[in-house]
Every structure is written in C-alpha cells, then in structure tokens.
Amino acid sequence: MTKKQDHSGAAVMDAVGTEALVERLGQSSDQIGDGNAGAVTEDTAPVLLVRGGRGKSGGSFFLDHAIQRARHAGRQVKPLDADKRSETLIRAYGQPADLKDSRPIDPQWATAPTSEDPIVVRDWLMQELDLMAEDRISRVIDFNGGDRVISDVHRDLDLGPFCQAIGVKLVSVLTLGPEVEDFRHMVKAAHAGHLEPHQIVLAFNEGVIPMGVTTLGAFEPILAAPELEELVAMGAEMMVMPRLACVKGLKEAGLSLYQAAYPAQGTRVSATLLHMTRQWLQKQEKAIVEKGIAEKLP
C-alpha cells in the first residue's frame, strides 16, 4: 500500500496497510479455524462484558454469540438485558413462564430491570454485581442508549477498581458500523465511563456494510481516525465481525448458532444454513483468537 501523507491517522494505516489490514482484523479467507470455542484457560476470573455504543450496530448479536460460545465450551455466563427496546437477551435466555415459580432459580437465566428508569436500572445492575462477587459467574450486559446508566455506575461505584477488587475482568465491546460519527460517540461514551483502553474491544461489523462496498472501503475513515490510533496504541483490541447472511433463517428455524452449525442427532437443518453458520463461527473464532480477544470473553 502506498503510504498515506498528511493524515491524522497515518500511523494506524501505515502500520496496517491495505492488504495487511484485512489480515490484521482476522478476515483472511484462507485461514479459518474450526469454529469451536477455545478451552478454558488458566485465567478463570469471571468476566463482566458490557456492550457500549449505539443500537443497530450488531452489539446484541456479538453478545449473543459470546454467551453461546462460552456455554458451548462448558463455561457459565449470565445474560443481563438493560435494552428495553429490543430485549434480545431476555427473550432468548429469560426464564420460561412455566418455570417462573420453580426453586431454586437457575443462576444463568437472564434478568432485566423492571423499567427504563435510570435509578431502577442502576439498582438492578448493582444487585447483579453483588451477586457476581458471590457466585463468580461471568455476566454479559446489553445496553442500548444506556450509556448514562453505565457511566453513572462507573462514577458512583468506581467500577474498574471495584471489578479488580473482587477479581472480575471488566471488558467493554463497542460494535462499529462505517459511520465515523458513531465511532466518535462511542469513544466519548467510553471515556465518560472511565474505561481503560485495554478494557475495550472494537468489533467492526461487516453485517451493516452496504452491499457492494468492501470491508476496507467501508471502515477506512474510522481506521484512519486519530482516536482509533490512540486507543490501539494504549491497548484496545480490534477485530472484524464477519457478515452472517442467514440470521433471518436462523430466527425462523428457532435455532442458535451452534444448534445450526453442529446439529444434534435428529435435528433437521438445511445444508445451506448449516454451512453458512459453521463458516461464520469458524471465521469469528479465528478473529477472536488471533486478535487476543479470547481471554477477554466469558
């Protein structure tokens, strides 16, 4: 790649290069893993994985995969859904109505605040953090437009030092489309939440790129932004989340990613759905592992 001149993000682009960028972000099509979640490492500290940023960027989908990935590998994780607009996690992992009165309650059922009131959400989240300190089960939190709440918790509780004190790894995933202003909003929100760069994962979502536009072409303005250069230099990790064209088909079939890709005996899955989902899991796992993100996930 020809070296860019007079550009505020030149260091990032020079370090990556056009061809190297795709490889750096885990999109080399001829190097694909097996799609199975990595084995439990020696670091068994629970993870508090928080989705940050704006909606419709694939954040809930990233979290859903992180939950499935952990459980597929035998690791416990509890979903927390503060996104009252879509309620993706509570609908997928909430306690079924016919088990509402059962005791004891499975600690891995998803929970959600009873309203969008910031005080209600804050109190619910702090209660979950208290439980996490006791049960040592990783949590995944879905926020949409909830930056104010998580920022307040960061400020009032000093969330980073709190997580460190109780032996929990705090990680924020920021899923990105190609809009530079959305990226800058997310960076601003991360700073307001007092997150350290090494606690941030930037996931560039191919699924929101318009048809006919390349991954590099879509994200080059963000990759050249000085804010990204600063975050990466200070320890933030970044990856590409590959496009999965059969998401609608999975929902219509009522199948999770791993159910479609590795169906149980007797489960009928179309050949195309199985192939596309398995390929996506393989690419996603390769990106997670190669970019050093595996240890940041539940």
CATH number at residue 176: 3.40.50.300
Cβ-count burial of 289 within 10 angstroms (0-12 exposed, 13-18 middle, 19+ buried)? middle
Q: E strands, the chain, where?
A: 47-52, 77-81, 138-142, 169-176, 200-205, 237-241
pLDDT digits (tens, 9 = 90+) for 183-240: 887 777 776 666 788 889 999 999 999 888 988 899 999 999 888 988 898 889 999 9
Residue 229 lies in a domain: yes
Q: Work out the percent of the chain whose per-residue pLDDT is above 70.
A: 76
Residue 290 lies in a domain: no
Residue 276 lies in a domain: no
pLDDT digits (tens, 9 = 90+) for 30-54: 333 455 655 444 468 999 999 876 6
Total number of domains constituting the chain: 1
CA dihedral 261, 294, 13, 218 (to 10 degrees): 30
Residue 94 lies in a domain: yes
Residue 261 lies in a domain: no
pLDDT digits (tens, 9 = 90+) for 73-92: 999 999 999 888 888 899 99
Residue 47 lies in a domain: yes
Residue 286 lies in a domain: no
Structural domain containing residue 116: 41-245
Residue 153 lies in a domain: yes
How big is the chain, counted in residues?
298
Give the Cα separation of 130 and 106 in Å (integer): 17
